[in-house]
Chain A
Amino acid sequence: NAGVTQTPKFRVLKTGQSMTLLCAQDMNHEYMYWYRQDPGMGLRLIHYSVGEGTTAKGEVPDGYNVSRLKKQNFLLGLESAAPSQTSVYFCASSRSYYEKLFFGSGTQLSVL
């Protein structure tokens, strides 16, 4: 009963470093999403995918890249981290566009 699993749960980066956040779901969902959560701003969509091999930009895509090479995995990459990318990152998945989202437990990222 894993659902949506995010790794890592916490990470501290220095400005300019790169990293990849991994999201894995075991529900055979088509749709997967990456959101970031900042105080007073709710959750904002970074990138999303509507199926294996597809990706699309969300509301705040700059500075991030994603890949969906396997249906169950959705990777979020930061090529050159900036302090403005300090945030909590959530991955989510759903079977279809009208069904509820299942969320991971989040990744707290700090960029110094």
Chain B
Amino acid sequence: AQTVTQSQPEMSVQEAETVTLSCTYDTSESDYYLFWYKQPPSRQMILVIRQEAYKQQNATENRFSVNFQKAAKSFSLKISDSQLGDAAMYFCAYRSAGGQGAQKLVFGQGTRLTINP
């Protein structure tokens, strides 16, 4: 079974600075999807960014980018120019690209990000 590990329970950053959240995963599959979800205090789960494993290029969405290292099974999220609205719990997630595993999204434990004004 696939597992996702976020080793940083909490992180903090000064407003306007850059922060990187770590995520590692364990899988024997070669094709899969990786995600970062944001959960603000409202509890709503919001998709931040998505990466297909077969794509070597790192995904980018405005101030959010990832560093996808397939061989190392690492998928970190970089937030540039941090804003107060970025304060939230961030979850890394994995999904297989085929078979029964494709039907399920496996989440990491989460990293709580605090933005200091």
* Physical interaction between A and B: yes
Which residues in A have some Cβ–Cβ distance to B below 8 Å? 31, 33, 35, 40-45, 48, 50, 56, 58-59, 88, 90, 92, 97-98, 100-101, 103, 105-106
A40 pairs with B109, CB closer than 8 A:
yes
Which residues in B have some Cβ–Cβ distance to A below 8 Å? 4, 6, 9, 33, 35, 42-45, 47, 50, 91, 95, 97, 102-110
> How many inter-chain residue pairs (CB < 8 Å) link A and B?
50
Task: Provide the bound-state CA to CA distance between A103 and B108, in Å.
Answer: 17
B109 pairs with A31, CB closer than 8 A:
no
Given A48-B104, A59-B106, A105-B42, 15 other A-B residues pairs in contact with their CB atoms under 8 A: A33-B104, A35-B107, A41-B109, A42-B91, A42-B107, A42-B110, A45-B106, A50-B103, A90-B45, A92-B105, A97-B95, A98-B95, A98-B102, A101-B105, A106-B43
Task: Provide the bound-state CA to CA distance between A6 and B35, in Å.
Answer: 23
Residues of B within 8 A of A97 (CB): 95, 102-103
Smallest CB–CB gap between B17 and chain A, Å? 26
